[in-house]
Structure 1
Amino acid sequence: MINQRSTTILPKNGYDIQEAIDAVPSNNKEVVFILVEPGIYNEKIVVPADKPFITLSGSKPNGTVITGSDSGNIFESATFTVLASDFVGRYLTIQVYITSPCMCGPGAKAVALRVSGDRAAFFGCRILSYQDTLLDDTGRHYYSNCYIEGAVDFIFGNAASLFERCHLHTLSEGDASIIAQRRESPSEETGFTFLGCKITGVRTAVLGRPWGPYSRVIFVLTYMSNVILPQGWDDWGDSSKQSTVFYREYKCYGPGANNRKRVEWSQLLTAKEAEIFLTKNMIGGKNWIRSTPKRFKKASFAISNNSTTH
């Protein structure tokens, strides 16, 4: 049981976000609330596995921007990496800042956010890159009212995640995939569910393709603009995966949700089948998704960065 009387860390001018995270005791058992004042923070941040129960919060996402420019290895290059359990991110922009044209060209992988801890939640965040924006790697995760932007496989990984009321914006200029889920066996309880979301974009894209042979993606009550191609899904050039993937839609709407020309190996859910995907129970969220603490034990040191340039 965690201590609900939380600590707040308000770092002094000159401190960066990583220093505030590093100041949290290892294996702490109380919520630590780190308030980040508006500004642009050019940092590569890691929340280590031995620092659970951290909440990192800005006051509004457009004002608190964490930016990086690394690319390449998807597990090492992320601007922001969460390895700890019970992490919460609130009202932050996490992005890859494109410093050269080659970074956003075909094949260039630049991860903005990697989430590899269990029971992680993000509220009102903006997550921005081009290819491989959000590595939703392992664990149970919840994304609420987040804006996620990219062009190729920009939400990918093998977590068990619920995206609720999120806005997905594809920069694809052809037929790139939005989702690349990696479930590798039928015994894995992983997959991505998008509930009450919105999909927009600049040209056309498909909803998803299988990074793993048992890839599982569900769209429920989601608005799909005409950016979504009629076929809806792609098998990534491997027809054998058509019989093992689980790609489903339920009561989605908008011009891109027309299912008359969907690939035959995707299906619509019945009302009974959809029930489990309409609540947070699918990720056990009732037991771990927490609200902002109301009481704090102490205030020690708010992160402030008045820089307005990258």
Structure 2
Amino acid sequence: MTSEIDRRAVLAGTVALAAAASAPAWAAPGPFDAVLSRDGKQRGQIPGYRTIADAMAAAPQRDAGLFRILVPRGEWRERIVVTKPNICLIGEDRSASRLVSNSLRKDRRPGEAATATVLVRAPGFQAARMTIANDFDYNANMPAEVDFDRTGASGAQAQAIMLDIGSDRAIFHRVDITGFQDTLWAEVGRVLFRACLISGNVDFIYGGARALFDRCTIVSRLRPNKDFNGFIAAPNTNVHQPFGLVFIGCRLTKEPGVAPHTVALGRAWKRQRTFPDGQYADPDAVGQAVYIRCWMDDHIVPEGWYRMHYYPKGGGMAFIEPEAARFFEYRSFGPGAGPASPRRRMLTPQQAAKFTEKAIFDGWHARPAST
């Protein structure tokens, strides 16, 4: 009799576990403050909203802890501007919970520098277990090549994410961030990308932020019928800022069709800015990008880095060479890990030891939301 009771208890427990596993995320107990809902109705005890913008409008303006918005499975087409602190988007499924737009440079709203699917202008933003994408058709709209840039001068920028003025202490955990040109613009503040996938081709991780990419997968995408597929990083780090774009324990991979030696680790960007005496490239932009213990496939060019053009004060065009920027590697491995050279410079163990999360974030301890 006892064994029969035990058997029934085990079966009941198994059924309960199976039901819990198949139940929608909103049905499980959890600290969600809002859920996306096609009809705007609540799900379980969680208030429902048709758009993320509507859900964010219900968040407190003051710093009152994370405001967690559940993004269910499905494609949610929306561009959002985050202006309240501590907004947290959590997907029900990393690949199936998709926030998407297809805007590009010419679609910028008045006063905006970017066309990002997610534009962050407040501290404490987080995203976890979801996909954030810009699916503008880059392949059908590739800009024409020019003599100073094999990827074209401009015209196909379409960000998935921009961290703009006001952003700080942002965290992306297990998020797929996908696009082509200019996928991720981390311009200001401190930001952690942990166990994320980031894809693109031309300058697809760029900006002046203190950004740590911890065990991320960096995917270079194909530029069809072209003999060069682009650049991974394009930092415009301020010369007085000790850390820029730092990749630690990442995997640099490629889409099928991306040929060997057709992608550079990066190039330095001197962003055009407006000064009292005119508009020209920021003279204090001396980009930093560092790859530490990263695996690299054979798409990486042997010389590692390329130069980039800019427009200095006084007119004309100039170039910043990799040697004039702060580009370094440490213990790269895999088919794309080339030997040290004057252009492909390596850190010493003592120098590499300085690139810690504590140092990069200047005392901020990044804690991703529980997912």
**Aligning the two structures, in what range does the TM-score lie when normalised by the shorter sequence?**
0.7 to 0.9
2:123 and 2:170 in contact (8 A); partners too:
yes
| 1:86-105 paired onto structure 2 within 5 Å | 86-99=124-137, 102-105=140-143
In 2: Cα distance, 1:162 partner to 1:171 partner = 22
State the match for 2:161 in structure 1: 113
1:245 aligns with 2:325: yes
Which deviations, in whole Å up to 9, do the C-alpha atoms of 1:95-143 show, x marking residues without a partner?
Answer: 1123585445553111111112000010011111111000111100000
Question: Which of 228, 231, 236 is the equivalent residue of 1:177?
Answer: 231
In 1: Cα distance, 2:304 partner to 2:321 partner = 15
Aligned residue for 1:18, secondary structure, equals: helix
Question: Which of 244, 251, 256 is the equivalent residue of 1:198?
Answer: 251
- In the superposition, the TM-score normalised over structure 2's length comes to 0.71
State the match for 2:176 in structure 1: 126
Give the stretch that moved more between structures: 167-176 or 285-294. 285-294
1:158 and 1:190 in contact (8 A); partners too:
no
> 2:90 corresponds to which letter in structure 1?
S
1:164 and 1:197 in contact (8 A); partners too:
yes
Question: Which of 214, 217, 234 is the equivalent residue of 1:164?
Answer: 214
The percent of aligned pairs where both chains have the same amino acid is 29
Query: Which blocks of at least 5 consecutive residues in structure 1 are unaligned?
Result: 295-310
1:130 and 1:152 in contact (8 A); partners too:
yes
2:303 and 2:338 in contact (8 A); partners too:
no
CA RMSD of the aligned region, Å?
A: 2.3
Aligned residues: 284
2:36 and 2:72 in contact (8 A); partners too:
no
Aligned residue for 2:267, secondary structure, equals: strand
In 2: Cα distance, 1:66 partner to 1:175 partner = 26
Structure of greater Rg:
2
From the superposition, tell whether residues 7 and 85 of structure 1 become closer, same or farther in structure 2 (CA, over 3 Å): same
1:6 and 1:30 in contact (8 A); partners too:
no
State the match for 1:30 in structure 2: 65
Which deviations, in whole Å up to 9, do the C-alpha atoms of 1:196-243 show, x marking residues without a partner?
Answer: 001112232000001035110000010000000101001215555445
2:103 and 2:136 in contact (8 A); partners too:
no
- In the superposition, the TM-score normalised over structure 1's length comes to 0.84
Query: Which blocks of at least 5 consecutive residues in structure 2 are unaligned?
Result: 1-29, 41-49, 144-151, 271-284, 310-317
State the match for 1:284 in structure 2: 361
| 1:262-281 paired onto structure 2 within 5 Å | 262=341, 264-277=342-355, 279-281=356-358
State the match for 1:54 in structure 2: 87
In 2: Cα distance, 1:33 partner to 1:245 partner = 39
RCO comparison, higher one (Cα < 8 Å, 6+): 1
> 2:308 corresponds to which letter in structure 1?
W
In 1: Cα distance, 2:362 partner to 2:214 partner = 12
In 1: Cα distance, 2:176 partner to 2:32 partner = 25
From the superposition, tell whether residues 9 and 198 of structure 1 become closer, same or farther in structure 2 (CA, over 3 Å): same
State the match for 1:76 in structure 2: 114
